[in-house]
Amino acid sequence: MTSSPSADVLLAGGLALGLAGALLTMLTNRVRLQRRIYWVTWLLASPLMSLSLLDRGWTAVAVGMTACLVASLLYAYLRTSYIKVGGRIHTYTLFRNRPDDAGDVSHSEIGEVVPQDAYGNVLTAPKFWWTLVAIVLAAASVAVANGPTPATIGGALLVTAAAASTGYIDGHDAFPIARRQRVQLAVVTVAAVPLLLLPPVCYALAYSAGRRRR
């Protein structure tokens, strides 16, 4: 099945709108304004891109809208501070969890609190370990789906290196194993079976090495 010319126009229109919105967010440092531009852009671009699927019926349009909604939420949560509900910002990383327009305000004035067991000012320990779970799952899925291909080996090595580095830092900085994120560690271990358990084994070895280097 190929798309019709009108569908292409709608899709291109949606993308052009999105690009314009993206350019606009680059022109301002005011988070409130960026947030409005971001959501308005998605609000306008999503129907256009979704309607480009009308040739396949309204169900397809609904799938397109859902994809746009999920993508906009996912991106906003992971990479921005644009999700603000009831005055509270919901975001993935710790360093983005700051009040709007706080770019030039010092941390002490904001009264920012970072948990003791957080991974720097980047992720809380639970989020960091759920992230590890996600990338181990991704690498394991590639391994199961593709078999021993270069992509599988590369993915396995990548997550193993990430797990080993994490282990070394945890040990070196005298944190308990997996910073007490036992559920995530268990999931990582189970998910790493297709990867020959390399990530958890290397985590444990590097953790011991980190302890000795203290």
Partner 1 sequence: MQLRHLRVPELIAAAGGDPWQADETIQSGSPGEIDELANAFHDAGVCMGETSDEFIEAKKRFEAAWDREDGAGHPINDSDEVNRATSSLHLDQEQFARIAVDLEGIAASLAETQKSSAEAIQSLEASLQQIDNSIENAIRQNGAQFDESDLAPLKNMAIQDVRDALSTIGTDRQRYAGDLMRLSASMQADGYTSDAIDNSDGDGVNATDTATKSAADYAAGQRAIDQALVSSGGATTPEMEAASARLRDYATITDPAAAPVAIRLAGERLDDFQTARKPPGSLPADPVLGADPQRRALVRGEWQRQLEQGSPWSPPMTPDEATAWMDRQEARARSDAIEKTITALENQGLAHDEATTIVDAASQGVPWSELAYGASVADPLSAIEKLDGALSSGRHSLPWETYSPEALKTVGNIGRGLGFAGSLLEVGVAVNDWQNGAPVGATFGGLAGSLGGGAAGGALAGFLGGWALGPGGAFVGTVVGGLTVGALGQQGGTALGANFDK
* Residues 118-157, interacting with partner 1 (CB under 8 A): 119-123, 128, 131-132, 134-135, 137-142, 144-146, 151, 154-155
Cβ closest to partner 1, residue 146 vs residue 208: 146
- Residue 9 has a CB neighbour count (10 Å cut-off) of 13
Establish if 25 lies at the interface with partner 1 (CB under 8 A): yes
* Residue 59: strand pairing partners: none
Query: Which parts of 80-124 fold into alpha helices (H)?
Result: 107-110
Among 107, 176, 183, 196, binds partner 1 (CB under 8 A): 107
Is residue 14 within 8 Å of residue 46, measured between CB atoms? Answer: yes
Which part of the chain contacts partner 1 (CB under 8 A), choosing from 72-80, 181-189, 200-208?
72-80
DSSP per-residue letters across 148-212: S-HHHHHHHHHHHHHHHHHHHHHHHTTPPGGGG-HHHHHHHHHHTGGGTTHHHHHHHHHHHHHHH
Supply the minimum distance, in Å, between the C-beta of residue 53 and partner 1.
Answer: 6
CB of 172 to partner 1, least distance (A): 9
Q: Which of residues 75-94 bind partner 1 (CB under 8 A)?
A: 75, 78-80, 92-93
Residue among 13 and 86 whose Cβ is closer to partner 1: 13
Of residues 16, 22, 17, 19, the one with CA closest to residue 38: 22
Interatomic CA distance for residues 110 and 124, integer angstroms: 19
Least distance in Å: CB of 85 to partner 1?
Answer: 20
Q: Taking Cα atoms as reference points, which of 162, 147, 167, 148 lies closest to residue 209?
A: 167
Report the C-alpha gap between 39 and 66 in whole angstroms. 15
By the 8 A CB rule, do 39 and 8 touch? Answer: no
Q: 55 vs 100, which CB is nearer to partner 1?
A: 55
Q: One symbol per residue from 38 to 67: x for binding partner 1 (CB under 8 A), - otherwise; what is it?
A: x--xx--x---xx-xx-xx---x--xx--x
Interface with partner 1 in residues 162-181 (CB under 8 A): 162, 165-166, 169
33 counts as binding partner 1 under rule CB under 8 A: no
**Minimum distance, C-beta of residue 107 to partner 1, in the bound complex (Å):** 4
Distance in Å, CB of 67 to partner 1, minimum: 5
By C-beta, is 177 or 194 nearer to partner 1?
194
CA pair distance 22, 118, nearest whole angstrom: 31
Closest distance of CB 201 from partner 1, Å: 18
